[in-house]
Amino acid sequence: MKRSLILVLWLGVSVCLGADLVGGSASAEPVAALRPVEEGERPALLDIGDAASLREAILQSLVWLTRQPPRSAFVVGARTVTAGEQARALERVLEFLADDPAPDVLEAFLLEEFDLMRSVGGGDGTMLVTGYHEVTIDAALEPSADYRVPILAPPAALPGRPTAALPGRPTRAEIEAGRLAGRAGPLAWARNPVDVFFMEVEGSGTLRLTDGRELRVGYAGTNGQPYRSIARLLIDEGHIDREAMSMRALREWLVANPGQMRRVLHHNPSYVFFGRRAGPPVGSLGVSLTPGRSIATDPRIFPPGSLAFLLTERPRRTGDGTVEWSPVSRFVVSQDVGGVIKGPGRVDVFWGRGPEADLAASEMKQPGELYVLVPKRPQPAGSGQ
């Protein structure tokens, strides 16, 4: 679903439900947030992902970088790198990837082309790594006894104008009570409000219609009210332990407590309106996100479009239904943002759609390490290097 830049700024408020629960430090200044990696502490930069997805992710970054003024500068720790330098370096990587090099061959090439800088992480020196995904929910184009929850398009007063243009800024509770009747028409109808709420949290999704068709929808505005975390509410009220909180735990609690569902959902007065979209999900750079390769980071610290290397782990479901954790060792690209993804201690990985993506988005609150690849400075003429 094609999302606008405004969508991603909203998505930044709530891109991952666990992100505002156990975040890393957001206090480090950009210059101090990344430090050079010494030879003896460098990890093996061995990518265990598929080459095609890496090529696609880099290509999308190049689409964005080539639209920027070539001399526009990004701060990368103590370094400054221009958009032109980033683009030229990624073009060389893309050309090298055309031959599907082995992981160790790719590592050697990248170490010749880039310097390595590591995020200082949070207070313990590691990063908190979470995940987000493209939600898929059951829906119908007409209301019925089974499909009662409207997925609203924005009121006529809202499209193309600031959210403040919505008169009175009605709350979620007021909208659900019919405050916008006749002004905000439904795109479709869902089975329950929890599905719609989680689609708002992710900012976009796919509606699986009763006739088998799929309809992609994306952010089209909000009611102008501030976002308030219902996960935080349930932790503060003692319903779910902080350590046990996840999107899955939150959903299960809401389903198990229907009598409190409305009260809890109304704790968040913000409401997202949706519009029809075509194409894959789009991040803050206005380019398509690549599952398992695109990440959301703080753009003050991690330059937009930049190549990085991530070490962490992700959940996978086994044949008997249990969950096991497998290593993540792969190159990723900063192509999205998040309002709660702040500082050197946070990174959010986009996993695409489907059961495995849903599992990763729900369960990931893992420690990790992120290394930014910075194009090497050109050697001055006559240096002999």
Domain ranges of the chain: 5-131+282-375
Q: Does residue 224 come out as left (phi exceeding 0), alpha (psi in the -120 to 50 range) or beta?
A: left
Structural tokens at position 233: 């509410």
In three-state secondary structure terms, 236 is helix
Whether domain 5-131+282-375 has CATH 2.40.50.140: the reply is no
Residue 170: burial class (beta carbons within 10 Å; 0-12, 13-18, 19+): buried
Residue pair 356/299 in contact (Cβ under 8 Å)? The answer is no
- HSE-CB at 160 with a 13 A cutoff on CA atoms is 2
pLDDT digits over 25-80, tens only?
445 677 889 999 988 899 999 999 999 999 999 999 999 999 999 999 999 999 99
Residue indicated by tokens 């790198």 = 81
* pLDDT number for residue 384: 55
The pLDDT > 90 percentage for the chain reads 64
Rounded to an integer, the average pLDDT of 324-352 is 92
* pLDDT number for residue 380: 64
Instruction: Tell me the range of 79-93, 280-294, 332-346 where mean pLDDT is highest.
Output: 79-93
Residue 161: burial class (beta carbons within 10 Å; 0-12, 13-18, 19+): exposed
Query: Would you say residue 195 has pLDDT above 50?
Result: yes
The pLDDT > 70 percentage for the chain reads 88
* pLDDT number for residue 165: 52
**DSSP bridge pairs for 314:** 326
Interatomic CA distance for residues 350 and 335, integer angstroms: 10
* pLDDT number for residue 172: 96
Nearest to 294, CA basis, from 352, 218, 365: 352
Query: Would you say residue 360 has pLDDT above 60?
Result: yes
Q: Does residue 101 come out as left (phi exceeding 0), alpha (psi in the -120 to 50 range) or beta?
A: beta
**DSSP bridge pairs for 334:** 295
pLDDT digits over 272-325, tens only?
999 998 878 888 898 999 999 999 999 999 999 999 999 999 999 998 889 999
Residue pair 298/306 in contact (Cβ under 8 Å)? The answer is no
Better pLDDT: 333 or 30:
333
Structural tokens at position 153: 């398009």
Query: Would you say residue 89 has pLDDT above 80?
Result: yes
* pLDDT number for residue 19: 38
Query: Would you say residue 9 has pLDDT above 90?
Result: no
Query: Would you say residue 98 has pLDDT above 90?
Result: yes
Residue indicated by tokens 């792969």 = 330
Interatomic CA distance for residues 18 and 276, integer angstroms: 27
Instruction: Tell me the range of 12-16, 37-41, 61-65, 336-340 where mean pLDDT is highest.
Output: 61-65
Interatomic CA distance for residues 362 and 356, integer angstroms: 10
* pLDDT number for residue 125: 79
| Average model confidence (pLDDT) across the chain | 86
Q: Where are the beta strands (DSSP E) in the chain?
A: 34-36, 73-76, 79-82, 114-119, 127-132, 135-140, 149-152, 186-190, 204-209, 214-222, 272-276, 294-296, 307-317, 323-336, 346-350, 366-375
pLDDT tier, 369 (very low <50, low <70, confident <90, very high otherwise): very high
Helix axis angle, 103-113 relative to 83-97, nearest 10°? Answer: 160
Instruction: Identify the weakest region by mean pLDDT among 25-34, 223-232, 364-373.
Output: 25-34
**DSSP bridge pairs for 189:** 140, 150
C-alpha dihedral, 280 to 252 to 337 to 227, nearest 10°:
120
Interatomic CA distance for residues 291 and 288, integer angstroms: 10
pLDDT digits over 246-279, tens only?
888 999 999 999 999 999 999 999 999 999 988 7
Residue 379: burial class (beta carbons within 10 Å; 0-12, 13-18, 19+): exposed
Cα angle for residues 225, 230, 236 (degrees, 5° grid): 125
Residue pair 54/9 in contact (Cβ under 8 Å)? The answer is no
pTM of the model: 0.79
* pLDDT number for residue 21: 39
Letter for the amino acid at 87?
Answer: A
pLDDT digits over 141-180, tens only?
999 999 999 999 988 755 445 444 567 789 999 999 988 8
pLDDT tier, 126 (very low <50, low <70, confident <90, very high otherwise): confident
